[in-house]
Structure formats: structure tokens, C-alpha cells
Amino acid sequence: MTLATHFTKPLSHQAPKGSSGLGLRLSGLGKSFGNRRVLQGIDLDIRAGEFVAIVGRSGCGKSTLLRLVADIETPSEGEFQQALPTRLTAGSTAGLAAGASAKKAEKRIMFQESRLLPWRRVIDNVALGLPLGQREKALEVLAQVGLADRANDWPAKLSGGQRQRVALARALVHQPDLLLLDEPLGALDALTRIEMHSLIESLWLSRGFTALLVTHDVHEAVVLADRVILIEEGQIGLDVAIDLPRPRSTADARLAQIEKQILDRVLGQPEALAPAATSHSANESNWLHTSAQGLRWAI
Amino acid sequence: MNHSLQQELQGLSQLESHLAEVFHPNPSRTPSLTARFLLTAKPVLVSTGRTLLPWLLPLLMLVFWQFSAVQGWLSARILPAPSAVVEAAWRLTLSGELWRHVSVSAGRALLGLAVGGGLGLLLGLLTGSVRWAETLLDSTVQMVRNIPALALIPLVILWFGIEESSKLFLISVSVFFPIYINTFHGIRNVDPGLIEMGRSYGLSSWALYRQIILPGALSSILVGLRFSLGLMWVILIVAESISAQEGIGYMTMNAREFLQTDVVLVGILLYALLGKLADVFSKGLERYCLRWHPAYA
């Protein structure tokens, strides 16, 4: 795996909001555990500031993909490159490679379980890994997720949804360029999920980080993401752009249609979208034409 | 005249009914003063009763014991009266003997705990955190653990004689294992998800250890400490009975030779008191250190 500070080819697209997000290029990425090949030949370009959702049946390798990007696992084959956000590269005119190597892109992951430290109060959980004396910053982010009044409680006193909000605050306090979400809402009830959707969306809109969401809930993916990627048996099966205005209404017919099409494909219905076995090279050209409207077949 | 008699009779019957009401109050009407008192006092009585009731039997036994001793049913050599025990304790306190023996015994116990428990903690942290240290050391420790500490007494006397060091050694050896085992398991049972989270949030190894692994293992380490404290007093009693020039054990063994059963009883009660004190201390420590835990909050 090589981590280049910028892509070999210049990024053809700026993020829609001129954001500080991290661009990602995965080429031929694969991961095996022993003899079991979990992921293979993943080619994927993610623009800075894009919200990408990865869906698939359980065990399809979607979480592994996220963990590869999060540097928790190392790829068995292939590589991924990161394009540093303009926030970090701007100013170092002398040369990206030299200047940017000192600066590190911030990547933060949010897990399915909150993984709060039960022996630290909420505020100290949010401040985890921050330099000392940055409690105000932590408190500020905690207020953004609406839990400022619970700062001095133990995590055990919070509900599941509140814990995930604290976990979100803990991830955001580092001002990540890339936020990785590993089924963070999987264990929450339906109402709390809807609240969390709008919270995540509003924070993403205001901060402009790149977001990569792994979920088994196609509806959630369609509501939140700019682009939904379906992983089937370790490979990319579908790549669908969702070009609907935000905030999205769940009653939107177009949303429901896209959701149904993806679900049919997941469930292997005959009328589902055409199999994605055409060619991987098509991915390259799609990178350059991400402005396509509505559904977009990437592979 | 007739009329006034009638009035008088009427007044009498009124008085009668009034009296009847006082002595046999009608339950359907508002409760009388006593009933109201009983109603409001009931919960208070129940709660005080619940706190006092467990003490009833010990108190009765104590009274019976005192009574039997006074009646001469129990000889002072077998079991002196509770009052005699209190008297002996007071006498020993006044002479300063009690404090000297208690402080020597407690000093021995705590020093043994510090040495044995400290080593157990360090070694448990090492084998829990470093894989090769576990491979190298753990099976040996587990083998040695099966030797009862008291079985070592003859050997310990041969090695260290009957001085302080032999007592210290026995206590250290016996408190070592509970702390070692629980520390090891505590470290191994820290939620791997939390460690993974800490790593991906950029904590250095030391920060990870201090902020996640140690606090995660703490509840288990404290369980080990509680086991060790219990064991510490047992071993201390045995070690002090072998031979000593000071300490509660010496005091009781000495009193036995002079048939001072009251002093023997004072010694036994002191051991019980110190054991209880250690238990209260470790419980308090748990309650403070694990106050984040719903089970201790």
C-alpha cells in the first residue's frame, strides 16, 4: 500500500462545496484472511467532500473495505491513494510531496457500537486524543450533537442513541477530512435513526468532510448519500449516483424507486439492474463524469 | 318534673353513646388519634425494626453468655464473660500493649501485601500485555500456584529462620497469586473494540495503556486485591503463631500459656476487626474507582 500525498493524475473534480474533504482512489484493492478472499479488485474513486454509502448483504466485505481505508487492516493486494484536502496543501507551494508529508490527513471512524470508554465522563470521551486544555473544543462539538448538558455524565447513563451522538462528537472533534461510519446506526430504533440521519447530514453539509458510510439499510444509504455502492461477494456490483436535492423527503417517489431498484438487486430479483460484470475500465471514465444525472452505472 | 327526668335520661344516653365511641371507635369514621399515630409511625417502625432485627440474636447470645458466666455455668478458663473480655481489652489499651501488637501485626501484613501484591501486579501486567512474557512465565507461575503457601512453612523456617523475614515471605507468597491471576485476566479481557478504537484515534502506546487498558483491567485487579486481603490475615495468624516476639499472634499465644483466656479472646476479636476493616477498605476503593460502573454507582 502506498499513500501518495496527491494523485498521479490531477483531481478532475472539486468537491461541490469547495470542501476540506479527503479524496480517495482505490485501485485493485483486495483483502484475504487466510484462504478466504473477502475483497478483490476494488476500483473506486471518491471525490473530496462526497458522501458515499456502501451497502451489501452481511459478510459481503463492506466493513472490511471501510477498515482498509481506516488503516485498521492492511490490504493484501492493490493500493489506495489519498488526495489531501486543499486545507492542508494550500500554502505549501514549494512542492506537494515535501510539504504535505508532514501534514497528515485526519481520518476518524465511528463503529457500530459507540465504543465509549465507560470510565471516562462524556466530555472526556469526546476529548479523547485531543491535546490537554481543549475541553472547550470538545464541549462545543458536544453542543453540536445536542448533548452539552450531559457532559459530566458517565456513558452508562446514556441511551443508545445518545451514546452514538457522543461517538459522533468524538470523531468530529478532530475535524476529520474523512469520516468513516461503520453501521453506526445499526443498533438504534427507527425514530432515533431518523434524528441521527438529519444530524449527520447537517454536520456533513456544514463541515464538508468526505463521508463513507457502511450500512445494511438501503433506505438509509439512499437518504444520506450522493452515491451508493453495492458490494457483492467482495466486488463492486453497483455504483449509483443519487442526485436528489437535500434535505431529502422519505416520501420522494424517485428516492423510493432508486431504493427499490437497489434492494431488488441485493435480493437477486430477476427484474433487477443488469449485472455489473461489464468492465472495470469503465470506472476510470466515470471518475471524470460524475455529474451524470440520476442513476449511474459505474461498472 | 317528669319532663326534667326525661331530659336527664336523654343526656345520660348521649353520654353513654359518646363513651362507647371513645372505647370502641367506629372504624368507618375518621381514625382516632392513636390509630392515626400508629398509621404514620408504621413505616418508621418497620424500617427501624429491619435495621435492628439482625442484631437481636447476637445481642441475646451476648446477654446469655454474660448471664452464664455470672451464674458460674461457664468457667473463666473456658470462656470468660464478655465484660471480662472488654475489661482485658481496656487494660491492654491503657498499658499500650494492644496498640504495639496491633501496629506490628498490621505492619507485617501490609508490608507483605506491598511486596507480594506489588510483584503480582507487575508480573500480571507484564504477562497480560506481552505475549512472549506469558509464554515464558505463565505456566511456571501456574505450577507454583498449586503449592499451598502453608505447606512451605518447614522450608521457610529452614531458609529464613523464625524471624520477621519468614513471616514476610509467607504473606508475600500467598497474596501474590490472587493479584497476579486477576491482573492477567483483567488485561486480557479488556474489550478489544476499545483498544482498536484507541489505536485508530491516534493514542500512543502509553496513552492507550494508561487510558484504556489499565482502567479496563481495574475491576478485575480490585477483585484480586480483595482475595489477597482475606488471605493476608489468615496467613498472618498462622505465621504469628509459629513464633513471634510481638504482634497479635504473640499476644494470644503468650496469654494461652498463662491461661488468660480473656486476652486470647481479645486477640481473636482483633483479627476479626482487622479483617473487617480491610474488607470495608477494599469495598470503598471499588466504589470509588469503579464509580462509572452501573453496578457500583
- B186 contacts in chain A (CB < 8 Å): none
Q: What pLDDT does B232 receive?
A: 93
- Whether residue B201 and residue A113 make contact (CB cut-off 8 A), yes or no, is no
Same domain? B105 vs B198: yes
- Whether residue B215 and residue A119 make contact (CB cut-off 8 A), yes or no, is yes
Provide the domain count of chain B.
2
Same domain? B203 vs B60: no
CB nearest A117 (choices: B194, B196, B202): B194
Q: What pLDDT does B57 receive?
A: 92
Calpha distance A33→A103 (Å, rounded)? 32
- Whether A268 shows a pLDDT value over 90: the answer reads no
Asked whether residue A32 is assigned to any structural domain, the reply reads yes
Q: What's the pLDDT tens digit per position in B118-156?
A: 999 999 999 999 999 999 999 999 999 999 888 999 999
Asked whether residue B150 is assigned to any structural domain, the reply reads yes
Same domain? B120 vs B257: yes
- A128 contacts in chain B (CB < 8 Å): 198, 201, 203, 211
Same domain? B37 vs B111: no
Domain end (from B49, B71, B93): B71
Domain that holds residue B30: 2-71
CA B126 to chain A, closest CA, distance in angstroms equals: 23
- Whether residue B211 and residue A117 make contact (CB cut-off 8 A), yes or no, is yes
Mean pLDDT across A170-198:
90
Domain end (from B44, B71, B98): B71
Residues of B with CB under 8 A from a CB of A: 191, 193-194, 196-203, 207, 211-212, 215-216, 218, 290-294, 297
Mean pLDDT across B259-283:
92
pTM above 0.90, yes or no: no
* Pairing outcome for strands A77-83 and A210-214: unpaired
Asked whether residue A112 is assigned to any structural domain, the reply reads no
- B216 contacts in chain A (CB < 8 Å): 119
Mean pLDDT across A121-138:
89
Per DSSP, helices labelled H in A103-252 are 122-126, 135-144, 160-172, 190-207, 218-224
CB nearest A113 (choices: B193, B201, B292): B193
Residue % of chain B over a pLDDT of 90 = 64
Same domain? B39 vs B121: no
**Residue B111 maps to which CATH number?**
1.10.3720.10
Mean pLDDT of chain A, nearest integer: 79
CB nearest B292 (choices: A108, A115, A119): A119
Domain end (from B11, B40, B71): B71
Q: What pLDDT does B66 receive?
A: 92
**Residue A229 maps to which CATH number?**
3.40.50.300
Give, in order, the Cα–Cα distances in Å from B113 to each of A282, B26, B106, B227, B249.
71, 69, 10, 11, 18
Domain that holds residue A229: 1-9+19-105+183-188+214-299
In chain B, which residue's Cα lies nearest the Cα of A176?
B201
Question: Which residues contact residue B37 at a Cβ distance below 8 angstroms, ignoring those fewer than 6 apart?
Answer: none
Provide the domain count of chain A.
1
Instruction: Give the three-state DSSP class for B77.
Output: coil
A32: cell is 484475504
In chain A, which residue's Cα lies nearest the Cα of B207?
A129
What own/partner pairs with CB < 8 Å and gap ≥ 24 does B134-143 have? Answer: B134/B184, B138/B184, B141/B177, B141/B180
Asked whether residue B177 is assigned to any structural domain, the reply reads yes
- Whether residue B293 and residue A109 make contact (CB cut-off 8 A), yes or no, is no
* Band of residue A246 on the pLDDT scale cut at 50, 70, 90: confident
Same domain? B62 vs B93: no
Reading phi first (left if > 0) and then psi (alpha if -120 to 50, else beta), residue A231 is in: beta
CB atoms under 10 Å from CB of A289, counted, come to 12
Asked whether residue A38 is assigned to any structural domain, the reply reads yes
Q: What are phi and psi of A83, to 5 degrees?
A: -100, 115
Residue % of chain A over a pLDDT of 90 = 38
Instruction: Give the three-state DSSP class for A4.
Output: coil
Instruction: Give the three-state DSSP class for B26.
Output: coil
Q: What's the pLDDT tens digit per position in A25-55?
A: 888 889 989 888 889 888 999 998 999 999 9
Asked whether residue B297 is assigned to any structural domain, the reply reads no
- Whether residue B292 and residue A154 make contact (CB cut-off 8 A), yes or no, is yes
* Band of residue A16 on the pLDDT scale cut at 50, 70, 90: very low
In chain B, which residue's Cα lies nearest the Cα of A127?
B201
Same domain? B90 vs B232: yes
Asked whether residue A202 is assigned to any structural domain, the reply reads no
